[in-house]
Chains A and B, each alone.
Chain A
Amino acid sequence: MTAKEHTYLGVPVKKPKVAFFEFTSCEGCQLQLLNNEATLVDFLSLLTIVNFREAMSEQSNDYEIAFVEGSITRDDEAEQLKQIRDRAQTLVALGSCACFGGVNQLKNRFNDLAWVKKQVYGSHPIETREAMPLSAIVPVDLEIYGCPIKKEEVERVVTNLVLGKSIDYPKYPVCMECKANHNVCLFDLGQPCLGPITRAGCDAWCPTNRLGCWGCRGPAEKPNVRQLRQIMHEHGFSDEQMLDRLECFGGFGQYVSELKRASKE
């Protein structure tokens, strides 16, 4: 994967050495990266990829940027993550599992994790503990949200990383992009949706396809969860239905406990 020297307006651009890793996850986010074949060659030629299990067999521990997918559910994963942190200048959490624990963290809701393990694995000996985001183990430099991630967003992030530009995410909620797509509000169609409190950047992927948002990208900045709860009630949806969605990807941790408390009152 060595290619000719890249320039930007005549200025040579350094190709960072990049490695991809995965912990507990479906590896779907990495697959997303390989999905967009129209831009794949350009994407790969921006980087020197030294480690990408889904795409190549060579491996190296010499890298500057590490993209890490998945949550941490075993001690050896935690150890490996610490090693990656030591080696990489920039550690990027790739996707909702890495950022928030993702769907995996649903098991953390149960008080008795031994029971969960038994239900899932039976008597098969396997080590597993509560699912944690990367940031619970090591400092994370950059988070790319989504389940799965949006390829276009990663392409933009990588381009800006290479050019040394700042990396910004939308701070506003999904509604903004949903309206830009001229959609009918799903609440008007009788569906619950976390769009009003979830961070945008997905181009309202689900609502545009008439599926109410499940909050995979985590909260927008200063989300008005209290008001959304009232809206849910006014539209005939219970706290439990709202909690189902808030808890699904793990991004709303603090708001989940607040809602649980309010729900008991």
Chain B
Amino acid sequence: MTEAEVDERIRALIKPFNNKGVSIEPETTFANDLEFDSLTVMDFVAEIEDEFDIIISMNQQAEIENYGQLITAVHKLQDN
């Protein structure tokens, strides 16, 4: 799967969590721009994990601050 395909799928997954309709750019942050709390993060991560049949450990989540980093990480994980 290309990075563009990963991006497309995650864009669809993020919609129900993006209550404020924040525009999603690579530099959009989850904590500040999207105001995700820890529970939202858990649900959102679970959706991605199921979609791509991967695990994103909390250690990996801690390194991911913005949307661009998430796409890169998921692209790499689903490639393995």
Bound pair: A and B? no
Which A residues form the contact surface with B (CB < 8 A)?
A: none
Which B residues form the contact surface with A (CB < 8 A)?
A: none
